Structure formats: C-alpha cells, structure tokens
C-alpha cells in the first residue's frame, strides 16, 4: 500500500511540475492565470487571484495582489508576454505552441515564455535551446512573428 501511494505521489508531482497551458484558455484567461507582473517585480511565476482581474482586448489577466493589478492597468504593454504568450522558441521555428508559465525569461524588459514538457516521450525545455543561440533566435522570432501571428493555434502542435 505504501509503495502504491508513493508512486502515485511521485507521478502527481512529475505531471504537475511541467504544466503546459494555452496562452489564452477557453475561458479567456491568460497564461494559466499566472500574474504577469510578478515575473518582473519578484522574478517568479505566481498564480493570480480571481478576485484581482483585469480584462484587456477580451483576455482576462489575473494578479496576485491589487498592487500588481494597478501596475498592469497603468502600463499593460510593459507586462504583456511577447508573441502573445506563445513559446518564443516555437515562434522562431514559425509555429505557435503552448507554454509552461513557470519557464520564462525577461530579456531587455520583455517577458518571454517557453514550452517545457514531453515531446515524443522525452522531456524538452525549449528555454535550454533558446539560451544556446538567444540573439539569433530572438531576431528570427521577431522577424517571423507577423506571419506566425496569423496562424491558427492548435493544442496538438509541438516543437
């Protein structure tokens, strides 16, 4: 009985440690309900509180505090994730794929999110690849984004 419980607990931890989300889910909530301001002011992904919500262009943003909500309301462009919240590496490949809100990077004051999950049975953290050629991939993603933005997002797409 103890072995079964331990295995179940380990499986639960593994599944939840790499939690992919759509940049905007079917309820219109951005990046899994994480507070976009927290990435900047504490350098950490923090879940937002549904009581602290702000809607911008049909997308709901949740905040961990009223203070963070007010910061966002005063200057949303400062906090919005690049590429509408899609994986930065995937955009550099001409694709739109989901992200793990806990896998991110701030570059020149801008928030970039990354895929961190299973691809064909192997764990892939796209930020690792990004970090190896960041300047080149950033330029490529910026160049491709206008065309990638027009593409339809499919939850089933991967790197």
What are the pLDDT digits (tens) for 123-153?
999 999 999 999 999 999 999 999 999 999 8
Residue 72 three-state SS: helix
Q: What span, in angstroms and rounded, lies between the C-alpha atoms of 66 and 154?
A: 33
Percent of the chain with pLDDT over 70: 89
pLDDT tens-digit readout, 73-129: 999 999 999 999 999 999 999 999 999 999 999 999 999 999 999 988 999 999 999
Tokens of 115: 């895929």
**Spatial distance between the Cα atoms of 115 and 104, rounded to a whole number of angstroms:** 9
For residue 80, being part of any structural domain is answered with yes
Query: Could you tell me the pTM of the whole model?
Result: 0.87
101 domain residue, yes or no: yes
**Which stretch of DSSP H or E encloses residue 63?**
strand 59-63
Residue 1 has pLDDT above 80, yes or no: no
The answer as to whether 35 is a domain residue is yes
Residues 6+ apart with CB under 8 A from 120: none
In a domain, 128, yes or no: yes
Q: 102 is written with which tokens?
A: 């806990």
User: Domain total for the chain?
Assistant: 1
1 occurs within a structural domain = no
Reported as a single tens digit per residue, the pLDDT across 36-65 is 999 999 999 999 999 999 999 999 999 999
Degrees, nearest 5: CA angle 1-16-4? 10
Residue 2 lies in a domain: no
Q: How far apart are CA 46 and CA 25, in angstroms?
A: 17
Domain that holds residue 101: 19-149
On the question of pLDDT at 32 being above 50, the answer is yes
C-alpha to C-alpha distance for 55 and 53, rounded to whole angstroms: 7
Give the DSSP H/E element, type plus range, for residue 137. Answer: helix 134-149
Q: Return the H-helix or E-strand segment holding 114.
A: strand 110-114
C-alpha–C-alpha distance, residues 139 and 133, integer Å: 10
Residue 60 is assigned to a structural domain of this protein: yes
Q: 107 lies in a domain?
A: yes
Q: Give 159's pLDDT tier (boundaries 50, 70, 90).
A: confident
Say how far apart CA 30 and CA 86 lie, in whole Å: 11
């Amino acid at each position: 009985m103890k072995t079964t419980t331990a295995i179940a607990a380990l499986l639960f931890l593994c599944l939840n440690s790499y939690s992919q989300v759509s940049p905007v889910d079917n309820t219109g909530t951005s990046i899994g309900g994480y507070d976009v301001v927290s990435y900047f002011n504490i350098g950490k992904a923090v879940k937002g509180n549904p009581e602290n919500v702000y809607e911008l262009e049909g997308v709901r943003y949740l905040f961990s505090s009223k203070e963070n909500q007010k910061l966002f309301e005063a200057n949303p462009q400062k906090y919005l994730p690049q590429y509408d919240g899609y994986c930065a590496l995937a955009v550099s490949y001409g694709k739109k794929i989901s992200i793990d809100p806990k896998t991110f990077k701030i570059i020149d004051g801008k928030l970039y999110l990354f895929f961190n999950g299973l691809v064909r049975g192997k764990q892939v953290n796209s930020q690792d690849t990004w970090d190896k050629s960041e300047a080149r991939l950033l330029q490529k993603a910026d160049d491709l984004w206008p065309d990638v933005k027009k593409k339809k997002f499919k939850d089933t797409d991967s790197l």
